[in-house]
Chains A and B, each alone.
Chain A
Amino acid sequence: KGIKKYSAIDKWSTQLKSLNLTITNRVC
């Protein structure tokens, strides 16, 4: 139930984490 939504949210959070890491690397 709601598996599509949760997998989409999971994808969003994963990509957000990856983006933040990339931005952090740019700062450093």
Chain B
Amino acid sequence: MASSSSSGLTFKLHPLVILNISDHYTRVKSQSQPPQNGAESTASPLPRVLVASSAFRGDGRSRSSTASSSSTTPPPTPSTVPSSRKNRNSVNKKVFPNYYILGWYSTGSEAEESDMQIHKALMDINESPVYVLLNPSINHTQKDLPATIYESVANTFCSCGLINATLELHVIDGIPQLIFVRSSYTIETVEAERISVDHVAHLKPSDGGSAATQLAAHLTGIHSAIKMLNSRIRVLHHYLLAMQKGDIPCENSLLRQVSSLLRRLPAIESEKFQDDFLMEYNDTLLITYLAMLTNCSRTVAGLV
């Protein structure tokens, strides 16, 4: 396997795809290893889920993986993949005309030789399909998402949060062969998706609650994000102090990045921003004032 992709494509993965894979895997696992009175599963190997469908939206040099759908749970053979995918493709095309099948996903720790067969079979539908691999083993010490995206050379766009692997053609022993290459990706969320991920992650109440509850929930979210920012800055600060003391070797690229980041602050200092900011501020105060007057009208009407 080559080390990294040089395709230049950017990949963005939405959390929905990751959680769909997780859901699929959990269902298969629970069926193959039924729970026994709350006891932990035995040490038998975890089932491998193979799903030959992913719906993605393409947009120039960027691919967004926004959804996924299951087609077959038992490992699809290369011969069965195209027909099942064509069926799914036609359905998806009617509903989401801008979406098309970008690749497939599976679970496991590493891409296997057999995955290449399925990958090649999917090349009938997409010249350069993307292969997303999620590692379902839970390791609390890891900080990165256990997902990898592999892409193919012809279609090096892949926006999956998982590891992207690019397929490149290599000549090995005189025979041209395709191999998987990892690609980097970023997590992308739309606002509504972010709110629902946060909601599910922290199980906030979905009913109205009082205004105080809403305010508390809102401020808690911001507080958590600022806390994360603070912890990242502290880590950087300690690292730079250690560099200054000489405990760790000096890393010029990091120093340049930090310097450039610091020089970008204040983030926005233009007159136009101040005007827009104050306008939004005053609009909110105006709406608050009008709401207060409406409340006063209600009180007077009730009195009358």
Contacts and interface: CB of A to CB of B under 8 A. Distances in A.
A and B touch in their complex, CB below 8 angstroms: yes
Interface stretch (B144-152, B184-192, B294-302): B294-302
A19 B293 CA distance: 11
Nearest to A20: B297
B287 A23 contact: no
Nearest to B279: A2
A18 to B, nearest CB: 10
A16 B294 contact: yes
Q: Is the interface of B mostly helix, strand, loop or mixed?
A: helix
B297 A16 contact: yes
B304 A27 contact: yes
Interface residues of A, number: 11
Nearest to A6: B283
Contacts of B294: 16
Contacts of A26: 304
A14 to B, nearest CB: 11
B286 interface: yes
A19 B297 contact: yes
Interface of B: 279, 283, 286-287, 290, 293-294, 297, 300-301, 304
11 contacts: A5-B283, A9-B290, A12-B290, A13-B290, A16-B294, A16-B297, A19-B297, A20-B293, A20-B300, A23-B304, A26-B304
